[in-house]
Structure 1
Amino acid sequence: MEGRSSQGTRQRWRGSFRARIAMVFGLQTLVVVIASVMAAYNVAPIGAVLAIMLCSGGLSWLAVSRAWLPIAALARLLSGWDPDHPDMEGLEVERGKGGDNDVVALVRGLHGLASRVEGFGERERNFTRDASHELRSPLTVIKMSSDMLADEADLSEFGHRSLERIRRSTRELESLVEAFLILSRESDQGLAEEDFIVNKVLRQEVDYARELIAGRPVELILDEPSAFALHASPRVFAVLCGQLIRHALQQTDQGTIVVTVMPGSVSVINPAVDAPDPGSRRHASVDRHGFDLAIARRLSDRFQWPLELRALPGASRVASVRFPNPQPVEA
């Protein structure tokens, strides 16, 4: 076994690019030394020695260039590589050519990596297509059924409370499904971009969020001292701001939450907590570990809308998103 292993190692070394280059330059050095000794002892004239050195240098260059051809071919193949449409046939051709063991190992590794990436892309497309249909369909049925139940005249007070909880949970689940479908895509392809006014989208999200605080001593206010437009996906913007608002609702037991539209930014301000309970989950410091907040952070990183979290004097918490390219409403 040891002899077979050492023999395989020697074969890999002999076939490697490093071994070939070392052999070429070793032979060239030997020729130069011999020619120099011949010139020193007047065995050959200076012109012949120079000719030998030049010929050895040219042959070395040709040998190195020939050894580099498989790597150059692989570089040309990868320079035009399209991750969405990988050229697996080209890699198969390069792998079938044989040649240098290092190049064969490199092509084999790239082929395996490209195959896995292609499989991941296919699973991503299947998931976003199937999940978009299979998750939204039952949510639509739940919403229609809850609307039908709301029309029942003999529904008890307990039934009305249960129905409102079902509606709130359905709204939250819709928001989560939308966020997960956006984040599951490798790129933002399929998300229609358009010019939209952020104030209009925020009004709708605030109205949705008010349904979640029915019966709670919490007030949600939209403050609009400014207005601006964006050229982006309104779905992504709505999901991002909706997650920030829901996170604020989860972190607030009572008080007023203010959603403010400033030039090029949107902020959500939680009320201060006068006497935080050390054993309570809710506290005055900025909470960076909420589930909705984690989704909002991933969305902001994905679409390069910087999200900033800070605590104001009085223990109020602020989550603000800046939009690099705001547009005037007239646009």
Structure 2
Amino acid sequence: MPYGLPRKIRKAFIVQALLASLAVLLGGYLMALVLKYGLLNALLHKEAEYYWQQHALSPGLAPPNTHNIRGYLQPAGQAPATVPEPLRGLAPGFHELRSSDELVLVDQQADERLYLVFQRSPAHRVVFWFGVLLILLAIHAVSWLTYRASSRLVAPVSWLARKVSLWDPRHPDAAELAPERLPPEVQGETRQLALALHRMAGKVTDHVARERNFTRDASHELRTPLTVIRMASDMALADSGLTPRLQRSLQRIQRAGRDMEAVIDAFLLLAREVDVEPQSELFDVGEVVRYEAANVEELLQGKSVQLRVLVEGNPMLMAPPRVMHVVVANLLRNACLYTDAGEVEVRVTAEQVVVRDTGIGMSHETLARIFEPFYRADGGRQQGVGLGLPIVRRLCERCGWRIELESREGQGTTATLHYR
């Protein structure tokens, strides 16, 4: 290498390694003492103080019983029958029981006594992680001292680090790392790294965008099917026998489970690389529409709305069937939720699926924004369990389909899915 950077900085960091080793030994010992007799002592006192506050409000409140802390309460005027034998003779205060590997706080309020037991083994793990933190701080401190001596050697690396630290993780801008814009002093390994980062910047941008969209979509849309499953399960468990109500609840659980599978498949499709073809199979579009129409009938209960399904012929399609389920379900649910009277009609042809309703419709301004994330035409209405029109459009684009919306305020909306 022109500058032999690894060889030159090796000597400087040998001294750093020796000093860091000494700091590790000293820091680990001091941290063990501080944690055991300081932090854990304060933690148990805070836990006891909080328990006494809650106990004053609810006298029957049980002592704390968590993964790390076990509590025992000796009520006033009663023998300590529920308190383990090794704890009964302890006076109020903080104790270390080496025989049972426990840390114990005995706290007394009036005539009642609270025992809080903390296992030392978890404490040792905590000591380890606090020791690691102390080690890192010590290494950084020593590194600062050695940095002043080796700053000339690592100046190109520092320059590159500063440039990269200014990147927005969602939109990394590597324009300054272009070969023609690199400073003359950036040579050797640093120049190679800068060029590699410049080439990777475009791929990083695309990857982060997909990951961001997937996380946003999943967190936004998976809540509703899970809520349906949870509510249906609660209803089923509340009944002692297989009543008609229980049977309906179980059926809802089954449908929600299938819906969730379709949603997960759709999200995975959006998360994949664009050049990766989705898994497709031949399916009947009419069957998908009939199935989803049956699922949304409950949304029309109590409304004077007629749901009609018209299927022309037997349209077959080679595509991801669960994505079609998600898209059709969203369009149908939107139509049912925003229609209070009249009809919702679904027409399936060899080339498209048309969902027409006589609902509230949308203004021209609303229609122009309807594909924006989280934008809804009527925020006062109950939200459906679909993916939302912005994600539906992304799914259609991913599968080579096209979605169109036509609407007039007060007259209804027509959604057309072109799948050929």
TM-score by length of 1: 0.48
TM-score normalised over the length of structure 2:
0.39
Which protein has the bigger helix share? Answer: 1
